């Protein structure tokens, strides 16, 4: 079996590649960025003693049809995990480029799924498809069947993800192909790459190396969090499972207040300085997902928020030549 991973050197993509390698699956890791991020991926791959013969790295710009054609003509894939995407700041600051990557590029990958008769395509959507206001849904977890009016949206990114989902459903209906997509909540872990959600790393990574951190929300803010490795594992299990019951999946998995976030970090780093902005009562995100569907579908339960924070802290410390936490 060979799986194509697009966006393979990114935050989630790198974790997907490493987990596929752990399962001894052949991987074509494709990304437009084959500079520093590629070297980081290769270093981690080698450090874990994974079989380099199972990994092929290819340059892929999904705004270029000739690039897409070349990859699919060169290899035979049994599944695609599609993660190449222009994230938040690109969507707001350069919507033309973002549309070329996120809408045209993603649809071009759907086309290859059909024309090459590939068994499964899995991609990441986002919790932002539900809009920017938890109060719209009341005091309950948001379900996959929920939706909101367009004026409830804050992020261009979320609306583009919504269009990806719409197109996916059209392809499923028209071609009877297999596409699944997850709606990750706040994905946290070490290795984010200058995004609007850097705070989802900094909240623990900065205290891990003795630095204070400023957070763009109050202690009373509530968000739903999932550790990056678990987000990757969900994608892989959806890609590998023989048959799926649904196309859309919330990822969850733990709802945490700013105060709980602070206390969790301080369990490991008692003198951590987390500075909250009390003028910002909430992030423009929903704060609770019903993730029972994916837990039952793939028989996988993400680690606790505390366990994820511990891993993040250790990764940050090791990356900065500091010893990991003691057991």
CATH of the domain at 90: 3.40.50.720
- State the Cα angle at 54 between 249 and 125, rounded to 5°: 20
pLDDT tens-digit map of 145-156: 999 999 999 899
Quote the pLDDT of residue 27: 98
Quote the pLDDT of residue 154: 87
Inside any domain, residue 316: no
Inside any domain, residue 41: yes
Quote the pLDDT of residue 34: 86
d(CA 122, CA 176) in angstroms, rounded, equals: 15
Quote the pLDDT of residue 197: 84
| Overall number of domains in the chain | 1
Q: How far lies 198's CA from each of 11, 213, 222, 314, in Å?
A: 11, 11, 17, 17
Q: What parts of the chain have a pLDDT lower than 50? A: none
Inside any domain, residue 268: no
d(CA 323, CA 327) in angstroms, rounded, equals: 12
In what helix (H) or strand (E) does residue 227 lie, and over which residues does it extend? Answer: strand 222-227
**Parent domain of 67:** 2-187+226-253+286-302
pLDDT tens-digit map of 285-300: 999 999 999 999 999 9
Quote the pLDDT of residue 57: 96
Inside any domain, residue 99: yes
Inside any domain, residue 170: yes
């Amino acid at each position: 079996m060979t799986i194509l991973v697009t966006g393979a050197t990114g935050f989630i993509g790198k974790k997907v590649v490493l987990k596929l390698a752990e399962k001894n699956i052949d991987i074509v890791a494709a990304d437009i960025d084959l500079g520093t991020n590629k070297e980081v991926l290769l270093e981690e791959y080698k450090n874990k003693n994974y079989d380099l013969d199972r990994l092929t790295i290819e340059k892929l710009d999904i705004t270029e049809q000739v690039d897409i054609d070349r990859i699919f003509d060169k290899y035979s894939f049994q599944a695609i995990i599609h993660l190449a995407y222009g994230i938040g700041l690109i969507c707001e600051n350069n919507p033309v480029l973002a549309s070329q990557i996120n809408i045209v590029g993603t649809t071009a990958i759907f086309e290859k799924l059909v024309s090459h008769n590939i068994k499964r395509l899995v991609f990441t959507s986002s919790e932002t498809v539900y809009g920017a206001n938890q109060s719209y849904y009341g005091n309950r977890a948001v379900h996959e069947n929920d939706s909101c009016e367009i004026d409830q949206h804050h992020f261009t990114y979320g609306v583009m993800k919504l269009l990806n989902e719409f197109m996916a459903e059209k392809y499923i209906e028209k071609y009877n192909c297999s596409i699944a997509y997850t709606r990750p909540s706040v994905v946290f872990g070490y290795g984010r790459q200058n995004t609007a959600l850097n705070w989802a790393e900094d909240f623990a990574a900065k205290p891990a190396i003795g630095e204070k951190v400023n957070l763009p929300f109050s202690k009373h803010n509530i968000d739903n969090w999932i550790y990056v490795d678990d987000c990757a594992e969900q994608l892989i299990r959806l890609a590998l499972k023989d048959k799926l019951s649904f196309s859309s999946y919330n990822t969850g998995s733990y709802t945490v207040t700013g105060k709980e976030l602070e206390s969790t970090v301080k369990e490991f780093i008692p003198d951590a300085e987390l500075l909250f902005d009390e003028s910002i009562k909430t992030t423009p995100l929903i704060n609770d997902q019903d993730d029972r569907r994916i837990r039952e579908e793939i028989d996988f339960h993400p680690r606790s928020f505390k366990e994820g924070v511990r891993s993040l802290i250790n990764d940050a410390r090791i990356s900065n030549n500091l010893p990991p936490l003691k057991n």
